[in-house]
């Protein structure tokens, strides 16, 4: 429909007082993203949520204003997160460096302090997957130890280098723990110390590498790519093609996050040509997984399947059950794109259940919506609607961003009216993917490289 629904029609739409044909036309019109109509619908969100009763009397302007304000408050309550689950942390691993208590002795001489510093960095890095809080604690201890070393013992410039390294690793630990503001401050301090030190190229590359990761986490991809250009240039000049290739792979990931699938494929292929595949199997896995995703998004579905087969053929350690589910999810998406609906359904059911068991409700609901689209394409409308409604309820319980929330409510309305449209369902799925973290795995750098 090209004409916009009137206010009266929106009322009728919300309270199921329109003919089915007109209701369907309004749903399609709204889901295609008509901004004026989406704005006009906002006061009616509580009705869509079932939080308000159908209006009976005609209200005065003053009463109407108060009523709309109440609806806005109901909308805010409905889409607010159901609560932030209390963070679960555990005590960080002790570092036995000669102290009975496990703490780092404060009077270590320089020959002992530098190895102790390296040990703390390594132990900190080892906690990155299971205990980000512990990673931060040990990185802070490493920073404290580095700053206790007297400059005269190493020389002022080399002492600045050691402190710079300590702040870089602490900045990375803060980043992994999602303490992004503190990460930015730590990397700022590291930059100051770098200028005071020997300005070693490898230390510069490490600093720029972690800065790129932080910028990527903050979705400042253009700046992240500029930092990675410097990392690439340093390693190529030094002849370390593996690390130069890793920088290109990181750029390929960021291109993918920005929807530049063809550029992502190009950069990932160039990076894969440079890296030593046995030197860092985790990097190889990250590159192949994201290459498969980018190839799928380019429409090169069979090439995407081959990239996933390479992961299995090499028996790469993908890093746990969640990443195994992400690979299976991508398999299901590729199968759906190739029209292999039975295989896609099997994969998506497994993924949905796996994410739900892991407590990842958003991902489980997304996989459920994708399963609904596959069922719909196979002509199983009632089963598709059941999957869709279950997924919608999860999204609403999680409290998602307003734009996505409105689209989910409209999708729910369509399902309840037994209206299902593959193209529009996939449009909402794409929107929800945009609100999610990157679907593919990301690069985590080992300490000391």
d(CA 177, CA 90): 13
Q: Where are the alpha helices (DSSP H) in 239-360?
A: 241-257, 261-274, 281-297, 301-313, 321-337, 341-357
pLDDT digits (tens, 9 = 90+) for 426-445: 877 887 777 665 555 555 43
Q: How far apart are the first and last CA of the chain?
A: 58
DSSP H helix total and E strand total for the chain: 22, 0
Backbone angle region of 359, left / alpha / beta, with phi > 0 → left and psi within -120 to 50 → alpha? left
Q: What is the pLDDT of residue 43?
A: 64
139-153, 376-390, 398-412: range with lowest mean pLDDT: 398-412
* pLDDT-above-70 percentage for the chain: 74
Name which residue leads in pLDDT, 276 or 153. 276
Q: What is the pLDDT of residue 277?
A: 84
pLDDT digits (tens, 9 = 90+) for 166-186: 999 999 999 988 889 999 999
Residues sharing a CB contact under 8 Å with residue 292, sequence separation 6 or more, in sequence order:
304, 305, 307, 308, 311, 330, 334
Most confidently modeled range among 200-209, 316-325, 436-445: 200-209
Q: Residue 247's Cα: distance from chain center in Å?
A: 20
Can you tell me the mean pLDDT for 62-80? Answer: 50
- Kindly report the number of other CB atoms within 10 A of residue 41's CB atom: 21
Strand locations in 249-394 (E): none
d(CA 366, CA 354): 12
Question: Mean pLDDT, the chain, as a whole number?
Answer: 78
d(CA 367, CA 348): 6
pLDDT of 224 strictly over 70: yes
d(CA 118, CA 145): 10
pLDDT digits (tens, 9 = 90+) for 363-372: 898 999 899 8
| Tokens matching residue 153 | 């013992």
Strand locations in 352-408 (E): none
pLDDT digits (tens, 9 = 90+) for 243-277: 999 999 999 999 988 889 999 999 999 999 999 98
Name which residue leads in pLDDT, 53 or 85. 53
Report which of 173, 237, 167 is spatially closest to residue 202, judged by C-alpha positions. 237
pLDDT of 90 strictly over 80: no
Using the structure block, give the residue that is written with the tokens 């690979």: 327
Residues sharing a CB contact under 8 Å with residue 402, sequence separation 6 or more, in sequence order:
75, 79
d(CA 150, CA 158): 11
pLDDT tier at 310, thresholds 50, 70, 90 = confident
Do 260 and 294 meet the contact criterion of CB atoms below 8 Å apart? no
d(CA 118, CA 278): 24
Dihedral through CA 41, CA 79, CA 369, CA 307, nearest 10? Answer: 120
| Tokens matching residue 286 | 């990250």
Q: What is the pLDDT of residue 213?
A: 92
Give the helix, strand, coil percentages of the chain, each rounded to 5: 70, 0, 30
Q: What is the largest CA-CA distance in the chain?
A: 85
Can you tell me the mean pLDDT for 30-50? Answer: 64
Q: Which domains does the chain have, with CATH numbers?
A: 7-79 (no CATH), 110-325 (1.25.40.10), 341-434 (no CATH)
């Amino acid at each position: 429909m090209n004409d916009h629904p009137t206010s009266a029609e929106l009322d009728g739409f919300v309270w199921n007082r329109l003919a089915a044909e007109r209701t369907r036309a309004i749903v399609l019109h709204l889901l295609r993203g008509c901004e004026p109509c989406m704005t006009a619908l906002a006061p009616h969100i509580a009705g869509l949520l079932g939080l308000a009763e159908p209006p009976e009397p005609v209200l005065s302007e003053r009463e109407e204003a108060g009523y709309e304000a109440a609806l806005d408050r109901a909308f805010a309550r409905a889409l607010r997160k159901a609560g932030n689950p209390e963070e679960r942390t555990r005590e960080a691993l002790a570092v036995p460096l000669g102290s009975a208590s496990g703490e780092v002795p404060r009077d270590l001489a320089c020959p002992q302090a530098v190895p102790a510093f390296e040990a703390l960095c390594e132990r900190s890095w080892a906690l990155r997957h299971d205990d980000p809080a512990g990673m931060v604690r040990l990185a802070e201890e490493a920073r404290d130890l580095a700053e206790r070393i007297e400059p005269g013992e190493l020389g002022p410039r080399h002492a600045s280098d050691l402190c710079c390294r300590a702040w870089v690793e602490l900045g990375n630990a803060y980043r992994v723990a999602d303490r992004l503001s503190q990460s930015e401050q730590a990397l700022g301090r590291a930059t100051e110390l770098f200028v005071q030190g020997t300005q070693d190229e490898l230390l510069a590359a490490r600093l720029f590498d972690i800065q790129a990761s932080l910028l990527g986490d903050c979705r400042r991809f253009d700046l992240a790519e500029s930092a990675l250009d410097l990392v690439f240039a340093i390693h190529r000049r030094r002849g370390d093609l593996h690390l130069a290739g890793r920088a290109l792979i990181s750029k390929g990931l960021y291109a993918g996050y920005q929807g530049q699938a063809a550029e992502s494929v190009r950069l990932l292929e160039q990076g894969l040509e440079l890296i030593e595949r046995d030197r860092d199997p985790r990097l190889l896995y990250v590159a192949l997984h994201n290459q498969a995703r980018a190839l799928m998004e380019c429409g090169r579905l069979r090439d995407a399947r081959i990239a996933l087969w390479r992961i299995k053929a090499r028996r790469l350690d993908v890093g746990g059950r969640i990443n195994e589910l992400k690979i299976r999810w991508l398999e299901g998406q590729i199968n759906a794109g190739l029209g292999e609906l039975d295989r896609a359904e099997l994969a998506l059911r497994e993924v949905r259940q796996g994410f739900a068991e892991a407590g990842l409700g958003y991902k489980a609901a997304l996989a459920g919506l994708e399963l609904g689209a596959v069922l719909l394409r196979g002509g199983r409308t009632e089963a598709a609607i059941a999957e869709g409604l279950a997924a919608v309820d999860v999204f609403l319980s999680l409290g998602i961003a307003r734009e996505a929330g409105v689209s989910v409510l409209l999708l729910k309305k369509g399902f309840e009216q037994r209206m299902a449209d593959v193209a529009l369902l996939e449009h909402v799925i794409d929107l929800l993917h945009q609100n999610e973290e990157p679907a593919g795995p990301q690069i985590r750098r080992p300490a000391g490289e």
